[in-house]
Amino acid sequence: MEVTDKKFFMKYNDAAGRKLKANTAAFIEKFGRLSEDETEDVFRQLAWWLWEAEKKTPSKDVGEDEIVRGILAYRTAYQKELNEQNFHEAVYYLSEILKGPNKKTMTIAYRRVQVAIFNERGRRIYKPPEPEYVEALMTALFQQIRQLLRQEMSLAEVFYHASLIHLKMFLIHPFVKNNMKAAILLEKWFLAEKLGKTYIMLPSEKYYCLNKDRYNTNTLLGTTYSNADDDRSLPFLLMLPEALKIDDVGIHSEE
């Protein structure tokens, strides 16, 4: 899978493209004129959803420290251009702080160990690429992102490629932890570079969190990175436009 590929764009455009203009207009009307304090409040709520989406223990509450670091990640994406160095800065804020007598920040370097995704029964359902390939895969991904950032695109093309970027990064699983959070942020960062900084506030993390079972199903394109079936990508690509329909990022709101 290459994130520059338009293999599925016609089907994507038929399914979602015609609705994007109206839905993005409604999103901009809601989030495009916020004050600095209001923007900070949105970042706070999005940070809660971002950590909630990937947490492994349902009973564990999202803490204030996690929210503050999430806000810092959003500020990085809001204020800085999208490139690999700035992406690593944002991932630093999304990394967990390890507790103990020798406190240290979890490394943000690309992983040097094999990782896997397991289902709720503990069975391995997906094996990402071996660690020796990760750095080259991520370098290639950011080269393709740079290529896309230079291109003129329709609104539908921007959303399509943003979702491909998210899916590709998630399949690579370049970090030991925090891959879903990093992929969500990278997806929105691309939208913001192409369409305006307001898109950092798109509540996609809330949508993915509320639809976590669909997210897990739609990102499972195969049992390994090498046998992932690109032809199964469309259901995931069609998720992001649905996030435009969420007009309240409130933690306790009902959908």
Residue 254 has pLDDT above 70, yes or no: no
d(Cα 106, Cα 97) in Å, to the nearest integer? 6
pLDDT of residue 85: 94
Residue 101 has pLDDT above 80, yes or no: no
Would you state the structure tokens that stand for residue 41, as one six-digit string?
Answer: 């409040």
**3-state SS of the chain: helix, strand, coil percent to 5?**
60, 5, 35
Give per-residue pLDDT as tens, 120-129: 899 999 999 9
Number of Cβ within 10 Å of residue 12's Cβ equals 22
The count of residues in the chain is 255
pLDDT class for 97, splitting at 50, 70, 90?
A: low
Would you state the structure tokens that stand for residue 248, as one six-digit string?
Answer: 């309240």
Domain residues of the chain, as ranges?
A: 9-243
Bigger pLDDT: 103 vs 50: 50
pLDDT class for 46, splitting at 50, 70, 90?
A: very high
pLDDT of residue 60: 73
Residue 103 has pLDDT above 60, yes or no: no
Q: Any idea what DSSP says for residue 113?
A: S
> Taking a C-beta distance cutoff of 8 angstroms, is the pair 167, 237 a contact?
yes
Give per-residue pLDDT as tens, 167-198: 999 999 999 989 999 999 999 999 999 999 99
CATH annotation of 9-243:
1.10.3290.10
Residue 219 has pLDDT above 60, yes or no: yes
**What mean pLDDT, rounded, does the chain reach?**
92
Phi, psi dihedral angles at 236 (to 5 degrees): -70, -45
Q: Any idea what DSSP says for residue 62?
A: P
Amino acid at 226: S
Residue that the structure tokens 């809001």 belong to? 78
d(Cα 208, Cα 69) in Å, to the nearest integer? 20
Give per-residue pLDDT as tens, 49-88: 999 998 877 667 888 999 999 999 999 999 999 999 999 9
Bigger pLDDT: 251 vs 242: 242
